[in-house]
Structure 1
Amino acid sequence: MLGANNIVLQSLYMAQNKSIIGRIPPQDLEAEKAVLGSVMIRPGVMDEIVDLITPESFYASRHATVFETMVELWQKGQPIDLLSVSAKLKDKSKLESIGGSSFLAELSSVVPASVNARYYAQIVYSKSALRGLIAAAEEIAQMGFASERETDEILDEAQSLVYSVASTKSARRFTHLKDALHDAWERLERMHEQKGALRGVATGFADIDNLLSGLQKSDLIILAARPGMGKTTLALDIARHASARENLPVLFCSLEMSMPQVVDRIMAAEARVHSQQMRTGRLSADTEFVKLRDALDRLAKAPLFIDDRAGSNTAQIRANARRIKTEHGLGLIIIDYLQLMATKRDYDSMVGQVTEISRALKALAKDLDVPVLALSQLSRAVESRGGKPRLSDLRESGSIEQDADIVMFIHSEDRDKDPAERTNIVDIVVEKHRNGPTGLIQLYFDKKTTTFLSVERSNISELVAPKESGVGEEF
């Protein structure tokens, strides 16, 4: 039955494809001639249109050849006129193929007004984009019938094809400082009026936000620690604050924990109830159930999206992120954790694998213009050496150090102490900050609710609760 359906689909595709083949693709030959004629009359207009169209934007091959020659002359600072273009085409043995000097002379006579050159170029670009969309659709259809490839890989490539058509236009490749200063002034005024407003995504921890000014768009932020130090807990706290308090759509990719485990942690932290007792169903006080119900009401409104697929690769995460951004908007992506992600191909060592992943995550942050917070493991060297972690301790680091805009470590001396001596105070060490200062922030870990809390140095002793043996001694 499946084979019969496939034959039907192929028949439908071929019928539709024939109708496409029989039709003339979108084009405007008069607009193409007007562009070329405008350049011939007023070579200076090349500065106005070269960022909008390329030789490939032209439908007629001879128009593309002429424009390519004009670009070559323009790049060398040589004059662009009937004589120079003819000579250049003759040197390339292409003059006769485009119709000779008579065709070039004709171009100047068909221009309504050379001052409208950019308008003509816009028409050429629009028709070119439509042709590109048709070509992408045909290629996507062909990929759809290719059964030897992974579906996720095909979907990601299909999305990339469509996005590439949409992003071919580059109406301005630079920004005048005057315009950038205007935007900067408006941003400063807005922050001044709001008193304490952040430029980036708020983490919910005042000291971290003050140091980083929030998590910035297009930044790759690495949060690294040894197992059991609280990477996931801190990441969930940030996700919960951004979505439930700031109402920012957040994508949380959990490659290690299942959906129920993630949800249980979020509920316990939001309700401020004992996480272990909640997981085992041993909540007894009515007040705890009231807290849970209120927390559920708040969390139900939070735009937090959880993907708990194990072994996800960057293509799958990118596809999910694009879909969420299109449908809901997107403010933050969190990945738990980097070393568990899959790659497109096998590597001889984890270094190559991690390098591919970190570069892909940085590209994802820039493409979607959102901060990407990726959790990472640290090597055992930090335990054998002692002291605070270093950038070199990033496990199978590859190019993480170079790709990351911010690297933060979680460090605590409690693990080397007796339970009775533990303070549950951890250091958040900002070891790399590409666009700002580094520093150290202290947080308090509430092991009952499995969450971190901001602390004032003067109030640390008030937050240290009596120890309970056997329950949640690790982060």
Structure 2
Amino acid sequence: MDRYPDEHLFETVVDESKLHSHESEYAVIGSMIKQPELVDDLSGRLVVSDFHHPACAELFELLVAMHSQGRAIDIVTLYEARSHLADGQNVLQVAAKLADNTPSTANAGAYARTVKQRSVARRVIAAAQVMSQRLMDGEPLDEVLSQGQQAWLALEAEGTDSRKKYRFIRDVLPEAVDGIDRRFNRMVSLGYDTGLPSLDEFIPGICPGHMVVVAGEPGSGKTTLGLGLAERVALHSGDVALVFSLEMTDVELTNRALASVGSVPLKHISEGHSMRDSDWPGLTGAVAKLNDAPLILCDDASLTLRDIRQICRTVKREHGLGMVAVDYIGLIKGEQKNASRYDVVTEISKGMKRLAKELDVPVVVLAQLNRGPKARANKRPTKSDLRDSGQIEADADVVVLVHRDNDSPAGQAGVTELIVDKNRHGPTGIAHVQHQGHFHRFVELAGGYMPSDEEVEMARPYKGRQYGKGKAA
């Protein structure tokens, strides 16, 4: 307050605190008076309610009104527009003092940012107090938390400088060209590889900010693929992979990871008594690898989208985060009362896409298919067969459909089609891989995949060939 020593200036004074900065409020008003062309910019960042000091709020409202009317702004025109403030102070004296004591109009943006941040902080506390009172009044916890979360998100958006939300392409070009150069020189990769070269031909990387949907019928191997991608990120890249399983326990997931990594039949691991002498070295090696792997499991079947978001934020803050996998979207609980399942899944899908962009990590979402493929001659699914909501297809950057025709010799031998049916950043097509169900993993086909003339002509699954056991990537 040293810059404003006049004891009659702003008589209604409240001590400075982390919840308001009168110095910054004074400087915002002073900057607008000294340099009226700043009014457009500052009024786009602030509103009257952002000001804690009532006199600053009143002057801000007056300045914005005068500017919108095309009136010239200086201390005299302010006085002519309104001679006294609501508390009786002389506008001419107050405006002159604020203009004279403003350090620099060049820092007006910084002053406004401080005012906005303190304003948001006050509203956060007010919202918390309202939530606390509602809980004490006996309102349901889930309902209070749901509405509270919406308030937090709105306040978080308000605290962001809107100019940081957009950039001219000239400002983006250096970053884009540098990224091309770094990838060309193998300094960085576009995203995480899948561990399956035939699939990587279509998807050059599981990229940050992307929502990847893996869908299939029950038993097709969608969980195998989803968990396999998480294992790949944790074991080969050393980045944290967070897996939400609303269908299986964390012990069941761990058993599958042990089978996959250690090449030990899952049946032996699950039964225990059927473990053979040849299994133990593989199991021991898998335990050693997974023990040091940043693979995090969450098996709470009652999770809502809000819960998932909060856990992801916590993990990223405390451990870092490379990828999120959710098994599966159809089991996530909705937060809206009396909403249809279609509406619930639609909102969850949108939330998953927002989560990927917010956290800047790939989010792999597992989903089920409807019964459409069973009515087709080749039983091959398409992205339109995604169950519950068409919004899943719309939000996805990549859709991979896991398909295995168990009525064909190829399917019985484990040959599986990974159908890339949507790919915003690359080609679509079919990758043929080997499903090793006993190890709960997918691997490349031994010797590759060679379609027959009949398959090429009829677009039916390949028949009449002997298949090997496949090879791990």
TM surpasses 0.5:
yes
In structure 2, distance between residues paired with 1:198 and 1:409: 25
1:281 Cα deviation after fit: 1.9
Verify: 1:45 aligned to 2:38, yes or no. yes
> Residue in 2 aligned with 1:58?
51
Residues 278-310 of structure 1: per-residue CA shift (max 9 Å, x gap): 211244543320110111010011111111122
Note if contact 2:212-2:365 (Cα within 8 Å) is conserved in structure 1. yes
> Residue in 1 aligned with 2:28?
35
Verify: 1:444 aligned to 2:434, yes or no. yes
In structure 2, distance between residues paired with 1:128 and 1:367: 23
Q: Which amino acid aligns with 1:301?
A: D
Counterparts of 1:278-293 in structure 2 under 5 Å?
278-293=269-284
Residues 28-77 of structure 1: per-residue CA shift (max 9 Å, x gap): 33432222221222223346655654433321234234334545666x69
Q: Paired residues, what number? A: 438
Q: Secondary structure at the match of 1:43?
A: coil
Counterparts of 1:65-104 in structure 2 under 5 Å?
65-68=58-61, 70-71=63-64, 78=70, 81-82=73-74, 86=78, 97=86, 101-102=91-92, 103-104=94-95
Q: Which of 372, 391, 395 is the equivalent residue of 2:363?
A: 372
Which deviates further from its counterpart, 456-465 or 219-228?
456-465
1:120 Cα deviation after fit: 3.0
Verify: 1:340 aligned to 2:331, yes or no. yes
Note if contact 1:32-1:121 (Cα within 8 Å) is conserved in structure 2. yes
Note if contact 2:341-2:388 (Cα within 8 Å) is conserved in structure 1. yes
C-alpha distance 167-271 of structure 1, shift in aligned 2 (>3 A): farther
Q: Secondary structure at the match of 1:449?
A: coil
1:235 Cα deviation after fit: 0.7
C-alpha distance 162-341 of structure 1, shift in aligned 2 (>3 A): closer
Over the aligned positions, Cα root-mean-square deviation in angstroms equals 3.5
1:177 Cα deviation after fit: 2.6
In structure 1, distance between residues paired with 2:365 and 2:142: 25
> Residue in 1 aligned with 2:216?
225
In structure 2, distance between residues paired with 1:85 and 1:400: 57
> Residue in 2 aligned with 1:469?
none
Which deviates further from its counterpart, 146-155 or 321-330?
146-155
In structure 2, runs of 5+ residues without a counterpart are 1-13, 451-464
Higher helix share: 1
C-alpha distance 167-464 of structure 1, shift in aligned 2 (>3 A): farther
Verify: 1:181 aligned to 2:181, yes or no. no
1:323 Cα deviation after fit: 1.1
Residues 77-113 of structure 1: per-residue CA shift (max 9 Å, x gap): 94651499759977xxx98548675344554333333
> Residue in 2 aligned with 1:204?
195
C-alpha distance 309-28 of structure 1, shift in aligned 2 (>3 A): closer
Note if contact 1:255-1:336 (Cα within 8 Å) is conserved in structure 2. yes
C-alpha distance 234-73 of structure 1, shift in aligned 2 (>3 A): farther
Residues 251-298 of structure 1: per-residue CA shift (max 9 Å, x gap): 111111122211111110110111112211244543320110111010
In structure 1, distance between residues paired with 2:140 and 2:26: 43
Q: Which amino acid aligns with 2:32?
A: V
1:376 Cα deviation after fit: 0.8
Counterparts of 1:384-463 in structure 2 under 5 Å?
384-387=375-378, 388-413=380-405, 415-417=406-408, 422-455=412-445, 458=448
> Residue in 2 aligned with 1:10?
none
In structure 1, runs of 5+ residues without a counterpart are 1-21, 467-475
Q: Secondary structure at the match of 1:172?
A: helix
Which deviates further from its counterpart, 119-128 or 138-147?
138-147
C-alpha distance 441-327 of structure 1, shift in aligned 2 (>3 A): same
In structure 1, distance between residues paired with 2:59 and 2:182: 50
> Residue in 1 aligned with 2:232?
241
In structure 1, distance between residues paired with 2:133 and 2:255: 44
In structure 1, distance between residues paired with 2:432 and 2:227: 18
In structure 1, distance between residues paired with 2:41 and 2:339: 49
In structure 2, distance between residues paired with 1:452 and 1:318: 29
Which deviates further from its counterpart, 228-237 or 152-161?
152-161
Note if contact 1:198-1:209 (Cα within 8 Å) is conserved in structure 2. no
